[in-house]
Chains A and B, each alone.
Chain A
Amino acid sequence: MVQSLDPASGAANPEEADAKTELESLVYDQRSEDGTFVGTAGSGPFRVSSWEAGKRATFAAHQDYREGRPFVDFVEIQIGRPVHDRVVDLELNKTDFAQIPAEQARQATDRGVRISISQPDELLALVFLGSRSGKESARMRQAIARCIDRAAIVNFILQKEGEPAGGLLPQWSSGTAFLFPTETDVRTAKEIWSQISPSPKLVLGYDSADTLEQSVAERIVVNAKEAGISLASRAMTASGKASPAQADGSTPGVAHIDARLVRLRMTSPLPGIALTAFINRLGPIAGIIDCPLRQSASPEDVYSCERSIMNSGLVVPIVWMPQVYGLSGRVRDWKQPTAGESWPLADVWLDSTD
């Protein structure tokens, strides 16, 4: 059984969006490198046999799947189960497979849950919105970027399941992540902020359904305060979507935010493809200029594009996080999916002796 969230809800939060993608991967045959599914629904290793919106879905093995039918006969997925309950279900062997937030991996392990952790392939970044331009805006972004204590976020919020992020690609993918600094520099942040006059009061938005984003946003507010930067955090609901600050500062009924936290999950381990997908996602939010990359882009080309985006200051990478899955004792041949790969439910089998 797989714990998931309602895939039909329109993906109100990142976990739901990921779950929707994973469920689609069960019924589609192939996935292109940019993450889109090709073929018809039902051509994949499983077929939907029952569906209760928001509650439960059952997928049966596709007998004539071209790569051979899956080992398991069916997969039953419970939807909408809270994280705590998923961990308890794993402890009690009431479920075979569940997604666990990275920050809860250590706790789950301490409780005896068998877990599988990927390489870090999901980026949490701060993205500046709107059309603020000019020197002062650039200074503002620099000051915010330098005051964030990424190490503390990894150690205390993620419980060491993650790593500080300086660039838009992780070290294992691009090989050049170490060229982007991650250290905090509160002193320089203060100096830069002091050059901005009058110093604005900024608002950082985060997804109200995402507890991790809330914790990180609050931590950044504390970091900013230490650097003398006036920054407040604001939860954003699906209905009250935040809009960039308007010229006259008045947009009734709509929250004003200057930046927001964004989760970006890699669609491919290949750096060129992953970066292109990130640019496509960030472009409409932050107005990032596209730097076209070929599929076979060299590390130099990828680095050059990544550097140009980072130099704009519009995106501030914070941390890289892995995907964490809890597994029951009877699951065999579970191979941790790499970036862009789907859950390998067609390849696993259940040991009946456990």
Chain B
Amino acid sequence: MRLLPRLFLRRAFIFWLLLAFAAASTKGQSAAQFPPDWTNALGSLADKIAAVTKRGEGLSLEAKNISSLSTADVDGLRQLLVTDLSRRNRRVVTESSADVVLHLTFSESTDGYVWIAQVVGGDEDNIAMVSVAAPNHKTSTKEASLTLHRKLIWEQDAKILDFGIVEESASGGSSMLIVLNTDKLSFYDSQDKSWKLARAIDLQHGRVAQRDVRGRLDLQAGEAELPGAECAGDFRHPETVTCTSITAASDPETPMPPVAIQGRSVEDYAVLAGACGDDSLTLASGAGDWTAPDFIQAYGGTNLSAASPPIQVPGPVLELRRNDGSQSVRVVSRNLKTGEYEASIVSVSCDD
């Protein structure tokens, strides 16, 4: 009997410790899924709510989402706010037992997210708000369950004319990414699974800028061309590459003869010879313009009929070129949601 109360207290203490640990873990997991400035903003919002409410007051919380946040994110943020409020001695209760009603709205402006709390009740209504930047919407690598696979290699704000990957690099990295922009030629080393800028060469154009600039990389020959400028050197050794301005006005590429694909004339396409057995595949994008999402599809046979389901691209495909020595194409597109230019590799895997 004398031992029972001690045992009970010990078990109660251990149980309380486990509860506290579980609560802390849960809080840690919820906060960890959001950027730090979001959790800071919620803390600031809780401070503002606390400033217009009284200690111990019961708040009923109604949340509404009129932004692009997902339901899961909204639920997580709401829970975080409840936790922040409880730390400030504000209890969130059911509506029937609430002293004050808190209308929480997750809204959005041109600058980012705006989170607004309307405190209704008491002497007067109060409005508190915080704002946070919305994160970039990164395009996830699309792993199609179909024959075509798209892998995002690089993305940037500035327009990409062409790009390529050299598998060996003299600088010690396993490969090198070369990106041809309208105003520079950039070399990136592969380090720690990311691309680090090794060298960028500014391009001095020999003539007035064109609106629809096109450029081309020839990785094997070590050449880069675009109207008004050309570069040459060993792309495996970026320090050997030099660029000069020229006065050539025309596109650096000889246009390919158009082909008929499903009733439309297509000028931008890539042919992969022997992609699947003896058959060659022609890869082409859709017929839309630069303001709509696009797709890439493989066509085969003498009539160039569809040989694969299309893979979707979140913006217009601007360039489509065959990668020399491989059964893949390099694709430059523009993500309409983020505005970023994306460099991708689309490869073909044959169905068994």
Contact = CB atoms under 8 A, between A and B. Distances in A.
A114 interface: no
A300 B289 contact: no
A192 B339 CA distance: 51
A270 interface: yes
Interface stretch (B78-86, B208-216, B266-274): B208-216
A66 B107 contact: no
B127 interface: yes
Contact of A64 (B108, B116, B208, B289): B208
Chain A at the B interface: SS class: loop
B209 A175 contact: no
Nearest to B64: A178
B111 interface: yes
Interface string B139-164: 00000000000000000000000000
Interface string A183-202: 00000000000000000000
Contacts of B107: 171, 175-176, 178
Interface in B280-296: 289-291
B105, B109, B213 — which one has the most chain A CB atoms within 10 A of its CB? B109
Contact of A334 (B116, B131, B212, B291): B291
Interface string B58-87: 000000001100000000000000000000
B212 A71 contact: yes
Nearest to A270: B110
B98 interface: no
A68 B111 contact: no
B165 interface: no
B113, B212, B213 — which one has the most chain A CB atoms within 10 A of its CB? B212
B69 to A, nearest CB: 12
Contacts of B116: 175-176, 179
Contacts of A271: 109-111
B31 interface: no
A173 B211 contact: no
Contacts of B213: 68
Interface residues of B, number: 24
A175 B108 contact: yes
Given A176-B114, A333-B291, A68 B131 contact: no
A67 B209 CA distance: 6
B129 interface: yes
A178 B127 CA distance: 12
A172 B107 CA distance: 9
Contacts of A270: 110-111
A176 to B, nearest CB: 6
Nearest to A332: B289
A298 interface: yes
Contacts of B289: 332-333
A326 interface: no
A66 B209 CA distance: 6
B208 A300 contact: no
A81 interface: no
Contacts of B127: 179, 303
Interface string A309-347: 000000000000000000000001111000000000011
A299 interface: yes
A142 interface: no
A335 B109 CA distance: 21
Given A176-B107, A176-B116, A333-B289, A299 B129 contact: yes
Contacts of A69: 208, 210-211
B88 to A, nearest CB: 20
B210 A299 contact: no
Contacts of B109: 172-176, 271, 299
B110 A269 contact: yes
Contact of A175 (B114, B118, B208, B210): B114
A244 interface: no
A299 B116 CA distance: 10
A63, A65, A178 — which one has the most chain B CB atoms within 10 A of its CB? A178
Contacts of B129: 176, 299-300, 303
Contact of B211 (A67, A171, A172, A176): A67
Contacts of B114: 174-176, 299
A270 B290 CA distance: 25
B316 to A, nearest CB: 9
A71 B211 contact: yes
A70 interface: yes
A172 B110 contact: yes
Nearest to A346: B211
B330 to A, nearest CB: 23
B266 to A, nearest CB: 13
B291 A68 contact: no
Contacts of A64: 208
Interface in B112-133: 113-114, 116, 118, 127, 129, 131
Nearest to B109: A175
26 contacts: A67-B209, A68-B210, A68-B211, A68-B212, A69-B210, A71-B211, A71-B212, A171-B66, A173-B110, A174-B109, A174-B114, A175-B67, A175-B107, A175-B113, A176-B109, A176-B114, A179-B116, A271-B109, A271-B110, A299-B111, A299-B114, A299-B131, A300-B129, A303-B129, A332-B289, A333-B289
Given A66-B208, A68-B213, A298-B131, 17 more contacts: A67-B209, A67-B211, A68-B210, A69-B208, A69-B211, A70-B211, A172-B109, A172-B110, A174-B114, A175-B131, A178-B105, A270-B111, A271-B110, A299-B109, A299-B111, A300-B129, A300-B131
Give me the 6 closest cross-chain CB pairs, A-B, nearest first. Answer: A68-B211, A175-B109, A175-B114, A175-B107, A299-B131, A332-B289
